[in-house]
Amino acid sequence: PSPSTRPMPMNLRPCMPFICLAVASLLARGAGAQSPSPPPAAATPVGTWRGTSVCLVRPSSCNDEIVVYRIAKTNAADSLTMDARKIVRGEEREMGVLTCHFTSPDGSLTCAIPQGTWQFRVRNDSLVGELRRPDHTKFRDVRAIRTS
């Protein structure tokens, strides 16, 4: 008979349950040792971001814009600057420089201005944000990707 159809020797039959148990135990131990990898830490927002800033309150003097944000470190550990610009007729126009607070564990960036608060979240190469007015009205929605 072929090796696959040959009967198991009598002296191995009593050991089979123990062999199966030992193999299963080793497999389970190996699986338990492999813990799932922790979620990736929030990426740093430092760099250049390009995307859109869309008005959510209409009618208003607000316009949808293509934006460029240049985010840089400051001397304070949890503080960053955001040089905000918009694209008009193919050229960058200054909108202003904001001072922002960055919380590394959750990737949140908060920039307070007299007209409200900008809140952003960084996830890898994606920057998602909004501007809320002091009365908590969501005024703008931002979506940008890292370009450098």
CA distance 43 to 81: 16
Chain centre to alpha carbon of residue 109: 12
102 closest CA partner among 40, 45, 39: 45
Look up the pTM and report it: 0.71
Q: Tens of pLDDT along 72-117?
A: 999 998 999 999 999 999 999 999 999 999 998 889 999 999 999 9
* Cβ-contact 122, 41 below 8 angstroms: no
Measured between alpha carbons, how far is 130 from 16 in angstroms, rounded to an integer? 64
Q: Cα separation of 73 and 60, whole Å?
A: 34
Summarised one tens digit per residue, pLDDT across range 4-36 is 555 555 554 554 444 433 434 433 444 444 444
